[in-house]
Amino acid sequence: MARYKIVDRSPRFLPVVLDAQLMSGSFEYALDYLIDHQLDLGNLDRRYRNDTTGSTAYDPRVLLKIVLLAYSRGMISSRAIERACRENVLFMAISGDTAPQFTTLAKFVRELRSEIAEIFTQVLMTCDAQGLIGRQMFAIDGVKLPSNAAKKKSGTHTELARQAERMEAAVAAMLAAHQSRDDTNGFEETEPDARRIARLARDAVRIRDFLATRKERRSAKGAIRKSNLTDNDSAKMATSKGVLQGYTGIAAVDAKHQIIVCADAHGSGSEQEALLPMVERTASYRTPHTLITADAGYHSEANLKQLHEQSIPALIADASARRAKRFTPTAITAPRMAARITNSREAKALAAHASCASGVYAIPTERRRGKWRSSRKGKFRRCPTPSA
């Protein structure tokens, strides 16, 4: 008969030095040190009023360490974070084996909104002091995220008013039908109709209250945008997987160490309107020679004009779609390039850029029907020797 090693589950005494789990050079060690010694979290301390009375509270620094460590490992569920604090030795070390409940973690994250911007700024200042922000090139891009709101609850104020009118008319018709049956057959209660009437009446009142208290949303150009009864800050957005109700999260990332130097989220439904505010918010970390890149989704004639007038660092967008059989670099200055792109057929495929200190870039071009045109293949290339 085969013999196997004995499985012994008798009690053991296994000493664990929690402080030794945070090894020098690891992310956990850096996180623990920076929050304790570099970041000013006085605003978090001012939340608590239990100096003389009340029970003790979890240290907000410990909660912040737990949340950031969990996010760095892809854990965003409060229950999963609570379980990690009980089972993972790194979370035990970073939290001092306090193991807060998931409700405590969720409440901390929910109430942290007003302090997030200040903490983010301090983190950036620390990264900049360590020389981690290269300032040579920033890349701007975004992702569309769904919100906790239904698309069917969206509409302009006119559409929502008509929807409320239809609901009120349906309620009146059903009540009239009830009255007619009562007059003919005596009192007869139909529970399903009663529930439907109550739901329609409640939804109609909700829409009326929304229209009375909220202004109609408009774009930067004055066009009417659809509002949403559940989350009016979100918007309908077209994606490769269909239309979703949500937000566009945008970040500007430094090319040296992929550090996010600026981040924002908006529900305008248009990427183009978010480009200029994002570029302006990176001003603290830019130099006159900093290059800012974005894809063609952010290109518009308005962005091109404003970027050129403000003379901010060059903005380049990758050309996409078609192949070019042959192309040759053509050197032109930034103002001429701006005019050329604005007037060309490739205005939506090629992105704009503003004037730059050195001034000269090369655009891939190709010969079509006897004329040289801007190629949709490849990126803008810097000329080796500046020329007018």
107 and 185 share one domain: no
Number of domains in the chain: 3
Higher pLDDT, 381 or 217: 217
Give the whole-angstrom CA distance, residue 44 versus residue 161.
44
Tell me the pTM: 0.64
Question: pLDDT digits over 47-84, tens only?
Answer: 888 888 888 899 999 999 999 999 999 999 999 999 99
Last residue of a domain, one of 184, 199, 215: 215
> If pLDDT is split at 50, 70 and 90, which confidence band does 188 have?
low
Residue 324 lies in a domain: yes
108 and 164 share one domain: no
111 and 184 share one domain: no
Residue 376 lies in a domain: yes
174 and 102 share one domain: no
- Whether the pLDDT of residue 272 is over 70: the answer is yes
26 and 119 share one domain: yes
**Mean pLDDT calculated for residue range 205-228:** 88
Kind of pairing between the strands at 291-294 and 137-146:
parallel
- Whether the pLDDT of residue 29 is over 70: the answer is yes
What is the per-residue burial (b if ≥16 Cβ within 10 Å, else e) of 371-380?
A: eebbbbeeeb
Higher pLDDT, 9 or 350: 9
Last residue of a domain, one of 175, 192, 215: 215
Residue 243 lies in a domain: no
The reported pLDDT for the residue numbered 12 is 85
92 and 32 share one domain: yes
> If pLDDT is split at 50, 70 and 90, which confidence band does 297 have?
confident
Residue 23 lies in a domain: yes
Q: For all residues of the chain together, what is the average pLDDT?
A: 77
- Of all residues in the chain, the percent with pLDDT exceeding 70 is 76
Q: Kindly report the CA angle at 231 between 225 and 237, in degrees rounded to 5?
A: 50
Residue 5 lies in a domain: no
- Whether the pLDDT of residue 343 is over 60: the answer is no
Residue 359 lies in a domain: yes
- Whether the pLDDT of residue 161 is over 70: the answer is yes
Classify 58 as helix, strand or coil: coil
> If pLDDT is split at 50, 70 and 90, which confidence band does 34 have?
very high
Residue 264 lies in a domain: no
Last residue of a domain, one of 215, 236, 253: 215
* Domain of residue 166, residue span: 157-215
126 and 174 share one domain: no
Residue 205 lies in a domain: yes
Kind of pairing between the strands at 291-294 and 315-316:
parallel
DSSP code of residue 386: -
Query: By the 8 A CB rule, do 375 and 365 touch?
Result: yes
